[in-house]
Structure 1
Amino acid sequence: MSQFIDQFQRKFEYLRLSVTDVCNFKCTYCLPDGYHREHKKQFLSLAEISNLVQSFAQLGTKKVRITGGEPSLRRDFTGIIETVKNTQGIEKVATTTNGFRMAKSVADWKKAGLDAINVSIDSLDANMFYQITGENLLTKVMAGIDAAFAAGFSQVKVNTVLMKGLNAHELQTFLAWIKPRNIQLRFIELMQTGDNHALFQAHHVPGSVIMKQLIAQGWVEKVRQATDGPARVFCHPDYSGEVGLIMPYEAHFCDNCNRLRVSSTGRLHLCLFGEQGTDLRDLLQGPEQNEALQQRLISQLKTKRASHFLQQGDLGGTTHFAAIGG
């Protein structure tokens, strides 16, 4: 029985857990100048992660997504997957990665218990991929997707931020790519943060524009499942793949919120936007602290707002998404 229910009767069964804020890519919309460490804190240890996930699971969390930065930069990443997967009550373990280590390691991740994988690919054109990410690694990332299917993943999700003047013209190329492949292509609307106002103004493409194009081409929306993320998912009888749209500026986007976030240094974030987080680390040092940790979590959840209020131009305190795992 979930104890993670807020004052708006939303049930929280999904934890997005960042294990590092380090990333080796320099994506224009996230870390255009590359990663610069802004704190001296150590990232959560394996023991702290274990204590944290146990407490979340006991309160009703069923799904954990391991995020970053780039989570596979942690040397103990496979051990983290195994630890989370072996936690009683956790039914699904997922990760989001830039894919640069997948070809080499995805089979090991699968063996450790990884159930689902999201890969960020913002262009299928090598030159545009380099322009957006700062890395000439498209071939390596694409090989990683092949390796994921070979390792036994039945579906791979691909995250793409379509941006006007950069890669927005690739929509039909992406759709052709997923026609024979069981890939859920997730178009994520560019979001404004504290440091990207000019980029947002120049390149933002509303998700509603993409949705109209999909519907015109015969795509149909699927019914949402309880532990799904925020995407509205569309399918087409002629395609093996699916399309997910993540549209944070859409009315009622927050009505079905089902996820909480913990940063790589142990701060609880009730929303990707708008607040500085609550430190949990002092209660992660042993299983004997789990009860106190759970009480803090329940207490904080009571303060969660109805919405992120992005529609009204509220950017909150988020400077870039690598800090709390997107």
Structure 2
Amino acid sequence: MAQQFEDKFNRKFYYLRLSVTDVCNFKCTYCLPDGYKPSGQKNSSFLTVPEVKRVVSAFAECGTSKVRITGGEPSLRKDFIDIIDTVSSTSGIQKVATTTNGYRMEKQVADWKQAGLTHINVSLDSLDPRMFHQITGENKFTQVMAGIDRAFEVGYEQVKVNVVLMKDLNSQELPNFLNWIKDRPIQLRFIELMQTGEMDDLFHKHHVSGVAIRNQLIANGWILKVRAVNDGPAQVFVHPDYQGEIGLIMPYEKSFCESCNRLRVSARGKLHMCLFGDHGVELRDLLQNDLQQNALMERISQQLQNKSQSHFLHDGNSGITPHLASIGG
């Protein structure tokens, strides 16, 4: 194995978030409220399957063991199953996850599992069909819930469900969500609303602190679990009376970036050190044939020395990220 990817703060990178499209068919208020709009970039095609294989192989060679395939909505790619198969068959990759809005899961999740998908995150911001429609812009609640049920039927032992809690919208649903996971092996992941370039007003109007939720959980007997090295940023809590778990993703907490173990590659082949970084690093010129793998690993390794110790969200600075779909959330 080549040298482990590591930055100047001695953080090692076991986790790649790989976007395969920035297209999404939902219009979530906190991400794409006006729906998807093409970027208008020249040469703006998304990574091909051979390019995906080369970038994942380089990361695996340098110690990455988990890849999350993201979007936009990744299942909109007609070759999504080929992408899963390509990632899962890469030597060294132990976990292959995706984050999906779930609307295609009922029909396709069995094929995803067969292709090697080991973990699923589904975005589900409300258990009320009307509120779901209001937040996502789509009347697909029934299909998403059926997709979650289908995932368990085809053999997934746990499904993670991502919820962005927003004041005056769905924040009052916390008791309903807790009741929902009492007898279901679902890890609910409450994601704190994040300020991005296009979302200042929404953030100030609807932001709910993750710390308040955490204090409530601890007061009710929830206990913090120990993180694995290739886990994401969630603080995961368990309770003896619940089959499900709760994960809290709190990017505004002071220590959030200390345990950073993940890098991002956009759907057009740029390396992003941080969801809220100031620029992306072009990799695509080194993804055109297998002979450039050493140069690819070297470029990534060098660029890691420029990775900041922390994001600057506390200063209201979300970098160049206009919205969360742009580089895969």
2:161 is the alignment partner of 1:158: yes
**Alignment-derived partner of residue 128 in structure 1:** 131
5+ residue gaps in structure 2?
A: none
Contact 2:195–2:316, Cα closer than 8 Å, also in 1 = no
Contact 1:274–1:314, Cα closer than 8 Å, also in 2 = no
Contact 2:264–2:273, Cα closer than 8 Å, also in 1 = yes
Deviation of 1:310 after TM superposition, in Å, equals 1.4
Contact 2:71–2:328, Cα closer than 8 Å, also in 1 = yes
Opposite residue 275 of structure 1, the aligned amino acid is D
CA RMSD of aligned residues (A): 0.8
- Pairwise mapping of residues 82-231 of structure 1 onto structure 2 (< 5 A)? 82-231=85-234
2:57 is the alignment partner of 1:54: yes
Opposite residue 9 of structure 2, the aligned amino acid is F
**Alignment-derived partner of residue 17 in structure 2:** 16
Opposite residue 171 of structure 2, the aligned amino acid is A
Deviation of 1:312 after TM superposition, in Å, equals 2.5
Distance 1:10 1:99 in 2: 33
**Alignment-derived partner of residue 32 in structure 1:** 33
**Alignment-derived partner of residue 282 in structure 2:** 279
Opposite residue 74 of structure 1, the aligned amino acid is R
Query: C-alpha deviations, 1:76-133, integer Å up to 9, x for none?
Result: 0001000000011111100000000000000000000000000000000000000000
Which 4+ residue blocks in structure 1 deviate beyond 2 angstroms? Answer: none
Structure 2 length as normaliser, TM-score? 0.98
Contact 1:222–1:234, Cα closer than 8 Å, also in 2 = yes
Contact 1:192–1:315, Cα closer than 8 Å, also in 2 = yes
Deviation of 1:313 after TM superposition, in Å, equals 2.4
5+ residue gaps in structure 1?
A: none
Distance 1:312 1:35 in 2: 28
SS at match of 2:325: helix
2:297 is the alignment partner of 1:294: yes
Opposite residue 10 of structure 1, the aligned amino acid is R
Distance 1:272 1:140 in 2: 30
The count of corresponding residues between Structure 1 and Structure 2 is: 326
**Alignment-derived partner of residue 311 in structure 2:** 308
Query: C-alpha deviations, 1:213-253, integer Å up to 9, x for none?
Result: 11111111111111110000000000000000000000110
Deviation of 1:274 after TM superposition, in Å, equals 2.3
Distance 1:64 1:114 in 2: 10
Q: Which of 231, 237, 248 is the equivalent residue of 2:251?
A: 248
Distance 1:309 1:200 in 2: 15
2:328 is the alignment partner of 1:325: yes
Distance 1:66 1:200 in 2: 26
Percent identity, aligned pairs only, is 65
Deviation of 1:290 after TM superposition, in Å, equals 0.4
Deviation of 1:309 after TM superposition, in Å, equals 2.1
SS at match of 1:268: strand
Distance 1:220 1:54 in 2: 37
SS at match of 1:321: coil
Contact 2:13–2:64, Cα closer than 8 Å, also in 1 = yes
Deviation of 1:317 after TM superposition, in Å, equals 1.2
Distance 2:252 2:173 in 1: 22
Opposite residue 297 of structure 2, the aligned amino acid is Q
Deviation of 1:321 after TM superposition, in Å, equals 1.0
Distance 2:293 2:9 in 1: 26
Q: Which of 217, 239, 243 is the equivalent residue of 1:236?
A: 239
**Alignment-derived partner of residue 264 in structure 1:** 267
Distance 1:73 1:314 in 2: 31
Deviation of 1:278 after TM superposition, in Å, equals 0.5
